[in-house]
Every structure is written in C-alpha cells, then in structure tokens.
Amino acid sequence: MAVLLLFSLPLIAVLLYNLSFRLRYRIPPGPRPWPVVGNLYDVKPVRFRCYAEWARSYGPILSVWFGSTLNVIVSNTELAKEVLKEKDGQLADRHRSRSAVKLSRDGQDLIWADYGPHYVKVRKVCTVVLFSPKRLESLRPIREDEIAVMLESIFQDSAAASGKPVVIKKYLASMAFHNITRLVFGKRFVDAQGAVDKQGQEFKAIAINGLKLGASLAMAEHIPWLRWMFPLDEDAFTQHGVRMERLTRDIMHEHTLARHKTGGAKNHFFDALLTLKDEYDLSEDTIIALLWDMIAAGMDTPAISVEWAMAELVRNPRVQKKAQEELDRVIGHDRVMTELDIPNLPYLQCVVKESLRLHPPTPLMLPHRANSDVKIGGYDIPKGSNVHVNVWAVARDPVVWKDPLEFRPERFVEEDVDIKGHDFRLLPFGAGRRVCPGAQLGLDLSTSMIGHLLHQFEWSPPSGVRAEEIDLRENPGTVTYMKTPVEAVPKPRLPAHLYKRVPVDI
C-alpha cells in the first residue's frame, strides 16, 4: 500500500498542478496535449506550415505544448501588433535552451539576452555604432567587392559549361561567408591560391559545430525532469567556447599589431568595438559574443532571401524581364550596378519585398518570452510562456492580401507597404524592441545581389524542367533554406570585361 502511494504521489501532484493551472488561466485553444510530451510529436517538421494549418481549425492564436513549456503562436496582423507593439514590453525576453545558455554565457550577448540593462546597452552599441548609416556606407566597398567575386565566378563557370545549370546557393553561400567575415573581422580568409585559408576553415568548423550543439538536445530540453537521462555534454560546450575564444583572440591580436603599424582603426565591427570598449564599458567576453551573434544572425539570412527570390524569378519570367528592363534603363550596359542605384530601381525593390513576403528567412522570427502574466487576444499568457509570431502566415493572410499566393511585385507599386517593422502585415525583420538591427544591411545586400544577378545574367530553368516545376518547399529549421536548392542556367547579358573583379582592400 505504502509503495502504491509512493508511486501515485507524483501523478497526483501533476494532476493537481494541471487542475489549478486550468482554473487560474484561460489559455488559447490548440491541439490536445499528451501527458508529459505535450504536442512535441504532433508538430510537423516544417513548423510554421503546421501552425498555419492548425490556426485554420483553432483560430489565429493557439497553444502548443512542448513538454511542460507553453508556446503561443499568433497568425494575424492584429495579434502580431498586440505582441510586437502594444504588449512588447512584457514580451521582449528570450527563451534560452540549455545550449543557448552555454553558447551565450547565459544571455551575455545580444540575441539571447533578456530585455534589461545589459540588453539595452549592447543594443545601443549596435544601433549607434555598428549599424549606423555612416558605417554601413563605409563598408559598402566590401559588399560590392564580394558580389563582384560571386558574379565573376558564375561567369567563369557559365563560360566553361555553356547552357548548363548552376546551383545558385553554392555562390551565395561563399559570398555570404566572405562578406560577413570581412564586415565583422575585417579579414578575407583566403590563401595565396584563393581557397579558404586555415583560419577560415576553423571559422567555418566553429559555425557548423555551434549549429550542431544547438540542435543536439531534442526532447529532454522541454521536459526538465527527464534531463538527468540526457545530460548536457559539458565538455563539448567547453571545447567549443575555447575554440571560439582562441580564434577571436588570435584575430584580435593581429588587429592590435596592425593598428600599431598603421596608427589607425578600420571601420569593420571588430575595430569599432575595440575602439569603443571603454566608452560603452564592454568586456572582452561581450565583444566576442556580439561578433559571433552577427555571424550567426547575419551570414545566411540575406543569402537565403536571395535564393528564394531567384527561384521565384526563374518561375516568373515576366517579372524577371520587367526587372531587367528597369535595370537596363537605369544602368545601361556599360557598367555594373552599385548600391547607390537602388533608390532609382523601384521595381527591383518591390521584387525584394514580394519575395520576403512569401519567403521570410525566419518565418517564426525568434521566440519572445513573457516576463509576466499578460493577456493577448483576450487569452491569458502565463509568465514564462514563449510567444511566436508566424510572420509567414501573416504575410499570406487572404484577409489583408489580395491573391496572397501569387508572386506579384506590382502589389507594392499599388500600395507602398513598410517592411522594417512599421506595418504589421509584412514582418520579415520582426518589429518593436527586438526588431532585427541588421534590417537595412540585410535589405541593401539582398537588393544589390538580386539586382546584380538580374542585370548581368538572364536566368532560365534547366533544360527539360518547366518553370512551374521548380520546387518551392522549405527545409525544417529556424531559418528556412530551400528543400531543393534552386538550379538555373545563367546567360551573360553584359560585355565580358564587366565580369572581371577589381579587388578592393579595406
């Protein structure tokens, strides 16, 4: 009898807790959670599509349980506004998984920091120092140089195998890597033969290992009392931290030597942070964490958005042609595009917006955590819950978008819709306190890449593939890569000498 009672006690405690929770809170509707695991096994891998499907049955605000953690997903414009504007102050913390705790030294960076004095300080450094219009402009030659490398490489490959398709992602990934490392560290990690050098290899290995560690925890992450069965590999995290720090300190050392030699600082993020270290009271740990945040958040997102745009442009030759006509009219055939042309290319800007509307690289943004009990849409959201805005679903809502599934950039000619967090119908960069600080940089870079790709090449589907057969499915994950990397045949449109890169060293 005593043994039976002993085993029943935890169960009774759980049932009582659930009952009191239900009496206290009126949470949003959602699929019925299973004991212990909640809805962990009901959620399909491409989460934002699954949530959008559920929203059709349960409504635009729904509850999804990951073990004992409540996730609330909102899927329409009004609720997005409530989360990111009206209740922003109560919903600006972050949920940190055990790996995020380790990787960010419990939120001593920017991405994983809760909203508080540390966050406000580092965010200010980002806005005032790193992403100021002046700094972004001074770093423009790096972006344009890396785009030139990409175009030269596509040109050479297309000349070597004329009429053959190329995998666009291959060029975008290389561009993204060199661009972000130069922007952040001021260094192009290549050897004398033009291949990625040893430091660059280490850099890539660290980035890949970070992703692996972040994804390694699975179920036990959401069920705290099961964690003893899935202990964290402390050693792996410690080693990762040591590698990251060693590489960053080596580069820091090189910078210090270079500064002594030349007597001046450069404009990239690393030098900027070192110069302003005392003024903003930044520890070396914080500087290192900030630099790696920029890599994590800013390397792949612009490249992903360009890959999706190119897939749509190959599927929609009418739009491709119209954008090329504008590029030819504004730039001509005697030079290549620069970012300074962007204000004169309104249709190209609409193409970028339309692509980000249909294919936001982070469709559920990053989760926000409630720092107190809060009401959304009339429901109770208890402190500690995670709130996600399904920006993918919001941007395809037929209530606010006409023919939402159609790729039609003209919709933004007819109505100018802000894309940087002021219009809650279109939120690829989020909105409010945690809006993406790199939004302008991301937009400039994506627009410039798409503009160059269209001005310098005509793109068509591989032979035997019809445009409408191009696969537009997504890979699962926080950031949405294409499931099948798009392939297309590039045909040069400009004189050959315009594909030659003239290296820039800044």
Q: For the window 391-430, what string marks contact with ligand HEM as x by the rule CB under 6 A?
A: -------------------------------------xxx
Min CB(281)–ligand HEM separation in Å: 19
Min CB(85)–ligand HEM separation in Å: 12
Distance of CA 88 to the CA centre of its chain: 20
302 phi/psi in degrees, rounded to 5:
-65, -40
The one among 436, 449, 482, 498 contacting ligand HEM by CB under 6 A: 436
Cβ closest to ligand HEM, residue 29 vs residue 141 = 141
Residue corresponding to tokens 């490249």? 303
Query: Who contacts 398 (Cβ-Cβ below 8 Å, separation ≥6)?
Result: 404
Cβ closest to ligand HEM, residue 133 vs residue 264 = 133
Asked if 357 touches ligand HEM (CB under 6 A), the answer is no
Burial letters for 306-321: b for 16+ Cβ neighbours within 10 Å, e otherwise?
A: bbbbbbbbbbbeebbe
Supply 258's token pair. 């270079």
Q: For the window 365-394, what string marks contact with ligand HEM as x by the rule CB under 6 A?
A: xx----------------------------
Q: Is 389 exposed, middle or buried (0-12, 13-18, 19+ CB in 10 A)?
A: buried
Q: For the window 259-298, what string marks contact with ligand HEM as x by the rule CB under 6 A?
A: ----------------------------------xx--xx
The one among 75, 76, 324, 362 contacting ligand HEM by CB under 6 A: 362
Distance CA 265, CA 63 (A): 50
Distance CA 400, CA 60 (A): 14
The one among 301, 320, 324, 456 contacting ligand HEM by CB under 6 A: 301
Min CB(433)–ligand HEM separation in Å: 7
Cβ closest to ligand HEM, residue 465 vs residue 472 = 472
| 50 in a known ligand binding site | no
Reduced to 3 states (helix: H, G, I; strand: E, B; else coil), residue 358 is: helix
Asked if 107 touches ligand HEM (CB under 6 A), the answer is no
DSSP state at residue 62: E
Cβ closest to ligand HEM, residue 442 vs residue 451 = 442
Query: Angle 295-135-117 (CA atoms, 0-180°, nearest 5)?
Result: 65
Closest-CA residue to 182 (of 141, 129, 212, 121): 141
Asked if 449 touches ligand HEM (CB under 6 A), the answer is no
Supply 219's token pair. 């179920």
Residue corresponding to tokens 């909203």? 115
Residue corresponding to tokens 């009774």? 12
Selected range binding ligand HEM among 54-62, 210-218, 239-247, 435-443, rule: CB under 6 A: 435-443
Residue corresponding to tokens 């109560």? 90
Closest-CA residue to 327 (of 498, 143, 149, 503): 498
The one among 28, 60, 437, 461 contacting ligand HEM by CB under 6 A: 437
Supply 105's token pair. 């030294």
Asked if 451 touches ligand HEM (CB under 6 A), the answer is no
The one among 104, 199, 305, 448 contacting ligand HEM by CB under 6 A: 305
The one among 46, 79, 111, 288 contacting ligand HEM by CB under 6 A: 111
Asked if 361 touches ligand HEM (CB under 6 A), the answer is yes
Cβ closest to ligand HEM, residue 302 vs residue 490 = 302
Q: Is 24 exposed, middle or buried (0-12, 13-18, 19+ CB in 10 A)?
A: exposed
Residues 227-246 that bind ligand HEM (CB under 6 A): none
CA distances from 425 to 59, 77, 220, 437 (A): 17, 5, 36, 19
Cβ closest to ligand HEM, residue 39 vs residue 386 = 386
Min CB(77)–ligand HEM separation in Å: 16
DSSP H helical segments within 161-222, as ranges?
168-185, 198-214
Cβ closest to ligand HEM, residue 252 vs residue 449 = 449
Q: Which residues are annotated as a binding site for heme?
A: 436
> Applying CB under 6 A, which residues contact ligand HEM?
110-111, 293-294, 297-298, 301-302, 305, 361-362, 365-366, 428-430, 434-438, 441-442, 446
